[in-house]
Structure 1
Amino acid sequence: MSLAIVWLRRDLRLADNPALHAACAAHDRIVPVYIHAPDEEGDWPPGAASRWWLHHSLASLAASLHGHHATLHLRAGDSLGELTTLIRATGAEAVYWNRLYEPAVIERDKRVKQALREQGVAAHSFNAALWREPWQIATKTGDPYRVFTPYWRNLRTQIDDADPLPVPQPLRGATADGGVSIESLELLPRIGWDAGMAAAWTPGERGAQELLELFADDAVNDYAEGRDIPSRHGTSRLSPHLHFGEISPRQAQAGLKALLDRRGGKRPDVEPFLRELGWREFAHHLLFHFPDTPTGNFNAKFDRFPWAEADQALLERWQRGRTGIPLVDAGMRELWHTGWMHNRVRMVVASFLTKNLRQHWHHGARWFWDTLVDADLANNSLGWQWVAGCGADAAPYFRVFNPVSQSHKFDAKGEYLARWIPELASAAPALRHEPWKDPSLLRRSGYPAPMVDLGESRAAALQAYQAVKG
């Protein structure tokens, strides 16, 4: 009887799982295993919010496998060592997994694949996270893309036939001795700060499909404009599910099409949504070809940029949503409470940190890494470098998002501000955007005055930019 191990990582789903599908097709039985090895992720082990999500995603996957009469085996420690132990215990003749693209994980996976093959064990890896592998999309000269629009133009021609795989039938699981419990991984916080995340999210494959259905029923109809309104659920909110592999881009694209076809009527324009998935894909393309981008400026000129000295007190006010700038504070409080922030607001809070406060983008990237449930090394690095002006296809440094004009434009009635800054909820909508115009409101509410003057700090940032301009 042929048996294989399916090594699950951030592909925590049964449908459209190429490694699982191939293993079930080629072998009589499989042993699905998740190995918790955060130390093997280099300088970027999962942050606190990601660990919370991982706990619940693993529990969801274990329940799904149980429904197919299979068991999710949990292990912790050295990945190669745990795989070797499991191979010896089960007599497995092959190991299957889906690829990841972070630099430290790529190197780990290469070592594991080589070691397994030296042991006489077949090792097979697949693409489950992206429409196309980072090395499959190149310019006419064979080089990696550095600008999104031509990258997307190329990728867009290759994805319409990307049909997702079904759940393998039958899925024949095998048992194995040993392993650990999910509780022993200690992924959940020891103090109860996660209630807001629990109320906002349903980690797991089913939760991803439910969000896709909600998106098809409502938000996709007005996505091009609605995605910019933070008071609405105008986006798909699939980013954490995509990061943990609870849904794939293929499933999102094909599933949305099927849902819209079933509904009938006038079909909304889904291209803006697909383009956002393409931006995610571009981030992985860049991380693969330029692995230093999580810490190094993509535009080397910014190595000369005169960042302000790190100020812990200032950073803590930004982190806790106490800057005195309402849209920035609302976004940071939403992040702390739910583990997520609206994308329009992410750009504003990042611009405020890197331009108005002139703090290095590293500080923001690290805070997001720890507090976002969708913390993804490729997207986090691209996003922060884009706003800071030093990345690939970046917004020019002199583009400084004005938080006041942004909140007036995208939260005209101050509904988003009122939700996340209850001190200002009773104020007139106009004052929610600029509460400093009424000093008595600040005194009554306890909301702080602005920590910097937006105009003066913008001018100082532009003056600092002269050091790298040209």
Structure 2
Amino acid sequence: MKTTPTIVLFRQDLRLADHPALWAGAQRGPVLPVFIPEPLDEHGAAWRWWHDRSLAAFSAALTERGLPLILRCGDLLATVRELVVQSGASAVFWNRRYDPSGMARDRALKAALLADGVEARSFPGDLLAEPWELLRGDRPYRVFTPFWKAFLSRGQVVELLPIPDHLQAPSSIPSSDNLDSLAWRPRKPDWSAGLATAWEPGEKGAWRRFRDFLETGLYCYDGGRNEPACHCVSRLSPHLAHGELSPRQIWQQMRETASRHPQLAISADAFLRELGWREFSWHLLYHFPDLPHTPLRPEFARFPWREDRGALSAWQRGRTGYPLIDAGMRELWQTGWMHNRVRMLTASFLVKDLRIPWQEGAAWFRDTLVDADLANNSVSWQWVAGCGADAAPYFRIFNPVLQSRKFDPNGVYLRRWLPELGALDDTDIHDPDNAGKLALARAGIVLGRNYPFPMVDHALAREAALQAFAQLKK
């Protein structure tokens, strides 16, 4: 074992268990955990709120084991070089990341450190398989089902790594910036109260959430995951996005649960397939780094999108006049999260009913989601817009009223987020515009005053969208 320290860089992997770089560093000798924040414009406000809390929890977990978390703000290479000198470190380890800008910075960091004579190593990041390991011949997959079949044919996922038994701090500890210096917490007015009520960031909170899902949600996941009022979904996505759990941990735990309880096997497989979509999204982003801004299907660069800042604002604020859309957008604003089925429907409404570019929706989600994930967000928006890999056909245009009646038949989800509609019966609450005057009066609703009229006629908007799509074929 070496006595010179190893700097371990932490980014979106704020955990102690199943952390390859931390494990390798601990086997080598003393470890200096370091966090260097990325430029602010790379992450949205809700993501930063979560990461601030997650960093505090991670720092406390390290302190319990006698290690400091060194926080330094500044240029990545210059800051790491400074810390190498101050700590006497002879190696710098990190888990790989797969976003284009992060990979570029890490490649430059590794090349510079090796030139300095410092050992620099990267380890598998928070994916089940490296994006370059699954190819169709020499080409990346562009359709999910064959990608997932190829993944499953590989067999077992890499074995998990425990928390290192012995974590030793270096004899020389460099100074650290204060967490408050990041300025990631909301200024006045503080909009984060709903987030703080809904979530417990950190590795311990992640495991509590996961165990609760395994005990109370997984049994109904296969049948209930499309119902936004149902408790069957895991809500693990923020913990994954911030690396408080690894997908390998989720995979192994889910397989073990299904093995012990065969009646849960169908739900477990359905859940792991969703984990597979996350994997597929990072596969695509790695091979097509322009995905966050550029349609994968190039003909969609000619699509006649509309620019309408007023309509975009109404969608963002949950004031479209379509209850399921508005409920989802208000859930997003208050909690930093939205049910997956409702994400799909709100996205479809923006790009097809309003014909506003998908990039605008992706940008809003990126700023307001605590689970903002560049790959999943970009790929999923392109999927809904019909311009990406394995995309939903553009002519699949969801009717928000019919979807509401199908997936929230008793209006439980609607009443939770739209209390002004709460007195309407289970039929009228999905479509207040077509409720009778008497029903509206009894419920105390004046359309246009305390709840908006529908901002578009869905049937007409659908026809206009189809006509716009038809122009691409000419």
TM over 0.5: yes
Cα 1:297–1:234, aligned 2, differ >3 Å: closer, same or farther?
same
Report what 1:166 is aligned to.
Answer: 162
Report what 2:455 is aligned to.
Answer: 451
Matches of 2:398 and 2:187 in 1, distance apart? Answer: 37
Look up the SS of the partner of 1:96 in the other structure.
Answer: strand
Amino acid at match of 2:446: R
Matches of 2:159 and 2:219 in 1, distance apart? Answer: 23
Report what 1:469 is aligned to.
Answer: 473
C-alpha displacement of 1:162: 2.7
Matches of 2:414 and 2:157 in 1, distance apart? Answer: 42
Write out aligned runs for 1:433-444 (5 A).
Answer: 433-438=430-435, 440=437, 441=440, 442-443=445-446
Report what 1:377 is aligned to.
Answer: 374
Look up the SS of the partner of 2:473 in the other structure.
Answer: coil
Amino acid at match of 1:152: W
Unaligned ranges ≥5, structure 1: none
- Residue of 24, 27, 37 corresponding to 2:26: 24
1:42-73 Cα distance to aligned partner (Å, 9 max, x none): xx511000000000010110011111111111
Unaligned ranges ≥5, structure 2: none
Asked whether 1:388 is paired with 2:392, we answer no
Matches of 1:166 and 1:214 in 2, distance apart? Answer: 22
1:312-348 Cα distance to aligned partner (Å, 9 max, x none): 1111110000000000000000000000000000010
Matches of 1:296 and 1:266 in 2, distance apart? Answer: 43
Aligned 8 A contact 2:358 2:385 in 1: yes
- Residue of 252, 255, 259 corresponding to 1:254: 252
Write out aligned runs for 1:98-113 (5 A).
Answer: 98-113=95-110
Matches of 1:256 and 1:302 in 2, distance apart? Answer: 39
Asked whether 1:228 is paired with 2:226, we answer yes
Report what 2:141 is aligned to.
Answer: 145
C-alpha displacement of 1:304: 1.1
Aligned 8 A contact 2:331 2:337 in 1: yes
- Residue of 267, 270, 283 corresponding to 1:285: 283
Report what 2:338 is aligned to.
Answer: 341
C-alpha displacement of 1:265: 7.0
Aligned 8 A contact 1:347 1:387 in 2: yes
Aligned 8 A contact 1:51 1:187 in 2: yes
TM value normalised by structure 2 = 0.95
Aligned 8 A contact 1:220 1:268 in 2: no
Matches of 1:59 and 1:241 in 2, distance apart? Answer: 14
1:429-462 Cα distance to aligned partner (Å, 9 max, x none): 1111001123642417711110000000000000
Matches of 2:263 and 2:348 in 1, distance apart? Answer: 38
- Residue of 69, 75, 78 corresponding to 1:78: 75
Q: CA RMSD in A?
A: 1.4
Aligned 8 A contact 2:128 2:157 in 1: no
Cα 1:159–1:294, aligned 2, differ >3 Å: closer, same or farther?
farther
Matches of 1:460 and 1:375 in 2, distance apart? Answer: 31
Matches of 1:238 and 1:325 in 2, distance apart? Answer: 28
Report what 1:202 is aligned to.
Answer: 200
Report what 1:184 is aligned to.
Answer: 181
Report what 2:212 is aligned to.
Answer: 214
Report what 1:400 is aligned to.
Answer: 397
Aligned 8 A contact 1:4 1:29 in 2: yes
Aligned 8 A contact 1:320 1:333 in 2: yes
Matches of 2:13 and 2:21 in 1, distance apart? Answer: 9
Cα 1:131–1:265, aligned 2, differ >3 Å: closer, same or farther?
closer
C-alpha displacement of 1:378: 0.3
C-alpha displacement of 1:172: 1.1
1:379-406 Cα distance to aligned partner (Å, 9 max, x none): 1100100000000000000000111111
Report what 1:35 is aligned to.
Answer: 36
Asked whether 1:6 is paired with 2:8, we answer yes
1:216-258 Cα distance to aligned partner (Å, 9 max, x none): 1122112122110000122111111111111111100112334
Aligned residues: 462
Amino acid at match of 1:70: L
Report what 2:64 is aligned to.
Answer: 67
Aligned 8 A contact 1:57 1:203 in 2: yes
Write out aligned runs for 1:118-129 (5 A).
Answer: 118-129=115-126
Identity within the alignment, %: 50
Matches of 2:372 and 2:222 in 1, distance apart? Answer: 24
Look up the SS of the partner of 1:315 in the other structure.
Answer: helix
Cα 1:265–1:107, aligned 2, differ >3 Å: closer, same or farther?
closer
Look up the SS of the partner of 1:135 in the other structure.
Answer: coil
Report what 1:52 is aligned to.
Answer: 49
Amino acid at match of 1:78: D
TM value normalised by structure 1 = 0.96
- Residue of 273, 276, 284 corresponding to 1:275: 273
Matches of 2:192 and 2:254 in 1, distance apart? Answer: 30
Matches of 2:17 and 2:215 in 1, distance apart? Answer: 22
Amino acid at match of 1:232: C
Cα 1:261–1:209, aligned 2, differ >3 Å: closer, same or farther?
farther
Deviating runs (4+, > 6 A) in structure 1? none
Cα 1:267–1:431, aligned 2, differ >3 Å: closer, same or farther?
closer
C-alpha displacement of 1:159: 5.1
Aligned 8 A contact 1:230 1:342 in 2: yes
Matches of 2:436 and 2:96 in 1, distance apart? Answer: 55
